[in-house]
């Protein structure tokens, strides 16, 4: 196999040098077939302290490498728009590996020649060409996994236990597969949606909620035994509550993927005798979000770095003496939209005056030799209700010190007053983000951190937790701002300082819609949304604009159901509008744009939905966008009426009409 090449900028600068900026090295992939360049996209900590997401490309020639970069950006921005990836984005390190292929594409691609291609990672739709026309599983051929391991080994500190790989095939054909080495496809409209679904398998251990294993073929009856899957059951709602089992804590809640958390038949590739929590979620139909049951599990696995099952917390060493004049410190992980809770206690009694500070001045708190000081770091997110998860090592960590007799030995102050890590400065932060910094730690004092917006100092030190700044609490007006943080030593006035600067993007993206020609229309009036009347079907195009660079994610929802990713029309050129019909359009045995019973992704397959009713009548469509900084626009909407036709209006190809 051809040699592998790590970008020189990574080797010289070092991955830890990326902590403050997250800036990728400006090094192009080598053109030699099989060679590779590692590009750190986001490094928030040492690899051993993070869950490392490694994205590789297969079937991209040297000339197509920009296409790979664009595919990665689109995939990541879609992933970061979906909870809990959205809130826990900074728990990941993300590395892109640009692998140069001698040929373009993937083996046995049913929509691209269905021939074998010799690519470095050997991705394929089937072991033997031609593949089935509906093939969607993208796997590694002979030698592909071994090649992947060699490429991943280029990143120091990444191990099988702290990593997740995602390999993107250079094709526009729908497909992918889960596992620790998940796969998806680069230019397929649904490709970025396959990724979070497959990571639901790989990271969360979540199971498919499909009613089949082969499309449009019912999976049959589930056995009369309780499945081990956390989001499948044969218990009734009453039995779940009585036994305090499965998702009993979430029953009756509005589902984050639409509808209500309850009990819906089919799942685990079985069509009956097993039930799931939501009508549809990302583990059933890609395009929707995780429901609460899936989100809770994903938070646990992301926070615990999957196999380690332990939150990362750094602190004053617990295996060395501490003295009454010392200042103890902890460094925590940093969710994007809330802070972790830090609770200090002396001899088991919580100290309320610390107000979530990451530092604890023993002298100020009148701590004496022989006292025991503990600190507990916890993630008190409302998205976790299971006490075993909330109190487990993935979401809670404790440190303890016993104060030694005597005084601390004289030690010099740190050689530099500086920031050691922070929210990345290379791209704008959103207007609701919690921005963080970490500093060096003198033994006997706390360095001062001051914040300013457009040069105007902020009075945030009253919180005594100046390492975090919740931008949402500032209630900034829409606009773009410059945020700075400066660290200084209060014991040495006029001493050197260190400063970081961010761009704050507090402007939401804009979305516009374009509809096919209606029979009639009525403009918006007062609180009434624009209304349109159609015969039999209509098409909707959505387009987003933003004031900053980066791929903007668009979502819509039908009749108040779950938000669904707007990916254009499957198996069509980019920009092809989305089509709605009373009974949906079936492409490769998957339904799209259904206005009838069950929502967007259901179709009137008798074997699955014998009570299906087509969706003639009135409907409401809402739409919104999420920009690269995570800003979400307020939903806007329009309403439509879809009437039956006498046959004079031709139906679009693939449309299904139920008499």
Q: What is the DSSP string of 41-93?
A: EE--S-GGGSEEEEEEEES--GGGHHHHHHHHHHHHHHHHTSTTTTTTGGGEE
Are 392 and 357 contacting, i.e. CB atoms less than 8 angstroms apart? Answer: no
Asked whether residue 235 falls in the same domain as residue 352, the answer is: no
In a domain, 303, yes or no: no
Confidence (pLDDT) at 25: 37
Are 628 and 612 contacting, i.e. CB atoms less than 8 angstroms apart? Answer: no
Say whether 15 sits in a helix, a strand or coil: helix
**Which residues are within 8 A (CB) of 487 and not within 5 positions of it... i.e. 6 or more apart?**
417, 418, 419, 437, 439, 447, 448, 449, 497, 498, 499
Structure tokens at 641: 């009426």
Tell me the CATH number at 67.
Answer: 3.40.390.10
Q: Where are the beta strands (DSSP E) in 1-45?
A: 36-42
The torsion of the CA quartet 235, 238, 243, 247, rounded to 10 degrees, works out to: 70
Asked whether residue 493 falls in the same domain as residue 607, the answer is: no
Asked whether residue 59 falls in the same domain as residue 185, the answer is: yes
Confidence (pLDDT) at 1: 37
Asked whether residue 354 falls in the same domain as residue 461, the answer is: no
Cis, peptide link before residue 130, omega less than 30° from 0: yes
Asked whether residue 382 falls in the same domain as residue 489, the answer is: no
Calpha distance 134→174 (Å, rounded): 9
In a domain, 267, yes or no: yes
Calpha distance 114→120 (Å, rounded): 18
The torsion of the CA quartet 503, 508, 509, 515, rounded to 10 degrees, works out to: 180
**What is the per-residue pLDDT across 561-572, written as a single tens digit (0 to 9) for each?**
999 999 989 878
Model confidence, pTM: 0.91
Confidence (pLDDT) at 142: 96
Say whether 199 sits in a helix, a strand or coil: helix
In a domain, 657, yes or no: no
Asked whether residue 599 falls in the same domain as residue 626, the answer is: yes
| Residue that finishes a domain, picked among 202, 222, 239 | 202
| Residue 483 β-bridge partners | 453, 502
| Full domain range(s) for residue 273 | 212-288
Calpha distance 560→567 (Å, rounded): 19
In a domain, 305, yes or no: no
Asked whether residue 136 falls in the same domain as residue 15, the answer is: yes
Confidence (pLDDT) at 408: 81
Confidence (pLDDT) at 465: 67
Cis, peptide link before residue 554, omega less than 30° from 0: no
Are 76 and 24 contacting, i.e. CB atoms less than 8 angstroms apart? Answer: no
The torsion of the CA quartet 122, 128, 133, 135, rounded to 10 degrees, works out to: -50
Tell me the CATH number at 452.
Answer: 2.60.40.10
Asked whether residue 61 falls in the same domain as residue 189, the answer is: yes
Question: Counting Cβ atoms within 10 Å, is residue 438 exposed (0-12), middle (13-18) or buried (19+)?
Answer: buried
Report the 10 Å Cβ neighbour count for 160. Answer: 10
Calpha distance 158→266 (Å, rounded): 38
Confidence (pLDDT) at 495: 76
Calpha distance 94→100 (Å, rounded): 19
Are 77 and 430 contacting, i.e. CB atoms less than 8 angstroms apart? Answer: no
Asked whether residue 35 falls in the same domain as residue 172, the answer is: yes
Tell me the CATH number at 331.
Answer: 2.60.40
**Which residues are within 8 A (CB) of 104 and not within 5 positions of it... i.e. 6 or more apart?**
59, 60, 61, 64, 117, 170
Residue 160: C-alpha distances to residues 143, 198, 385, 410, 557 (Å): 18, 17, 30, 43, 38
Structure tokens at 210: 């499909």
Confidence (pLDDT) at 27: 38
**What is the per-residue pLDDT across 451-507, written as a single tens digit (0 to 9) for each?**
999 999 998 654 456 899 999 999 999 999 999 999 999 888 877 789 999 999 999
Confidence (pLDDT) at 413: 61
| Residue that finishes a domain, picked among 472, 506, 540 | 506
* Helix, strand, coil percentages for the chain (3-state, nearest 5): 15, 30, 55
In a domain, 105, yes or no: yes
Calpha distance 363→373 (Å, rounded): 12
Asked whether residue 484 falls in the same domain as residue 525, the answer is: no
| Residue that finishes a domain, picked among 484, 506, 528 | 506
In a domain, 2, yes or no: no
Asked whether residue 193 falls in the same domain as residue 235, the answer is: no
Given a cut of 50, the residues of the chain with pLDDT beneath it are 1-29, 462-463, 647-659
Question: Counting Cβ atoms within 10 Å, is residue 317 exposed (0-12), middle (13-18) or buried (19+)?
Answer: exposed
Rg (CA), the chain: 27
Closest CA to 169 of 131, 201, 207: 131
Closest CA to 432 of 74, 86, 94, 22: 86
Closest CA to 161 of 177, 180, 174: 180
Asked whether residue 52 falls in the same domain as residue 144, the answer is: yes
Confidence (pLDDT) at 22: 41
Q: Which helix (H) or strand (E) holds 430?
A: strand 429-430
In a domain, 413, yes or no: no
In a domain, 124, yes or no: yes
Domain count, the chain: 5
At residue 408, φ and ψ (nearest 5 deg) are -65, 140
Confidence (pLDDT) at 31: 77
Angle at 613 between CA 609 and CA 619, to 5 degrees: 125
């Amino acid at each position: 196999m051809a040699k592998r090449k790590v970008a020189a900028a990574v080797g010289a600068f070092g991955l830890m040098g990326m902590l403050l900026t997250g800036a990728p090295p400006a090094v192009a992939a080598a053109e030699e077939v099989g060679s590779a360049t590692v590009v750190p996209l986001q490094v928030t900590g040492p690899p051993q302290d993070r869950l490392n997401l490694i994205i590789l490309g297969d079937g991209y020639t040297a000339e197509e490498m920009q296409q790979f970069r664009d595919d990665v950006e689109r995939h990541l921005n879609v992933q970061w728009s979906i909870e809990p990836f959205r809130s826990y984005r900074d728990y990941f390190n993300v590395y892109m590996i640009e692998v140069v292929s001698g040929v373009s594409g993937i083996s046995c691609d049913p929509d691209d020649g269905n021939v074998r291609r010799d690519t470095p990672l050997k991705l394929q739709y089937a072991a033997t060409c031609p593949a089935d026309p509906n093939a969607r599983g993208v796997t590694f051929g002979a030698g592909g996994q071994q090649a992947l391991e060699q490429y991943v080994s280029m990143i120091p500190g990444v191990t099988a236990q702290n990593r997740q790989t995602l390999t993107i095939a250079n094709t526009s054909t729908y497909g992918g597969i889960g596992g620790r080495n998940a796969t998806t496809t680069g230019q397929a409209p649904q490709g970025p949606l396959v990724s979070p679904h497959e990571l639901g398998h790989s990271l969360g251990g979540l199971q498919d909620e499909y009613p089949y294993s082969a499309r449009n073929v019912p999976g049959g009856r589930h056995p009369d035994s309780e499945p081990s899957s956390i989001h499948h059951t044969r218990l009734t709602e009453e039995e779940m509550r009585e036994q305090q089992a499965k998702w009993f804590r979430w029953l009756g809640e509005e589902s984050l993927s639409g509808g209500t958390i309850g009990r819906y038949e089919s799942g685990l590739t079985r069509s009956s005798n097993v039930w799931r929590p939501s009508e549809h979620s990302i583990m059933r139909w890609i395009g929707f979000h995780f429901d609460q049951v899936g989100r809770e599990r994903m938070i646990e696995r992301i926070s615990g770095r999957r196999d380690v099952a332990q939150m990362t917390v750094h602190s004053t060493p617990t295996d060395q003496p501490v003295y009454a004049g010392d200042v103890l410190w902890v460094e925590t992980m940093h969710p994007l939209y809330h802070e972790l809770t830090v609770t200090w206690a002396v001899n088991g009694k919580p100290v309320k005056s610390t107000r979530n500070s990451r530092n604890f001045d023993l002298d100020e708190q009148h701590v004496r030799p022989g006292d025991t000081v503990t600190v507990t770091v916890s993630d008190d997110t409302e998205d976790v209700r299971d006490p075993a998860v909330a109190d487990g090592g993935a979401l809670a960590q404790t440190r303890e010190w016993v104060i030694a007799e005597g005084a601390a030995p004289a030690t010099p102050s740190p050689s530099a007053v500086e920031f050691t890590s922070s929210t990345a400065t290379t791209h704008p932060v959103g207007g609701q983000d919690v921005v963080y910094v970490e500093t060096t730690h003198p033994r006997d004092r706390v360095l001062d951190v001051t914040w300013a917006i457009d040069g105007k100092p902020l009075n945030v030190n009253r919180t005594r937790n100046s390492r975090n700044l919740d931008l949402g609490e500032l209630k900034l007006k829409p606009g773009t701002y410059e945020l700075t943080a400066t660290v200084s030593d209060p014991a040495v006035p006029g001493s050197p300082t260190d400063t970081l600067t961010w761009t704050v993007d507090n402007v939401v993206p804009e979305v516009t819609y374009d509809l096919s020609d209606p029979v009639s229309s009525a403009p918006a009036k007062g609180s009434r949304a624009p209304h349109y009347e159609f015969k039999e079907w209509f098409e909707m195009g959505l387009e987003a604009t933003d004031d900053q660079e980066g791929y903007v994610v668009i979502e819509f929802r039908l009749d108040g159901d779950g938000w669904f990713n707007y990916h254009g029309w499957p198996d069509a050129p980019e920009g092809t509008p989305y089509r709605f019909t009373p009974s949906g359009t079936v492409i490769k045995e998957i339904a799209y744009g259904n206005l009838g019973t069950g929502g967007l992704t259901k179709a009137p397959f008798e074997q699955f939905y014998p009570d299906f009713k087509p969706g003639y009548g009135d409907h409401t469509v809402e739409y919104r966008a999420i920009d690269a900084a995570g800003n979400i626009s307020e939903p806007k909407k329009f309403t439509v009426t879809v009437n039956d036709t006498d046959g004079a209006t031709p139906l679009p190809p693939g449309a299904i009409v139920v008499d």
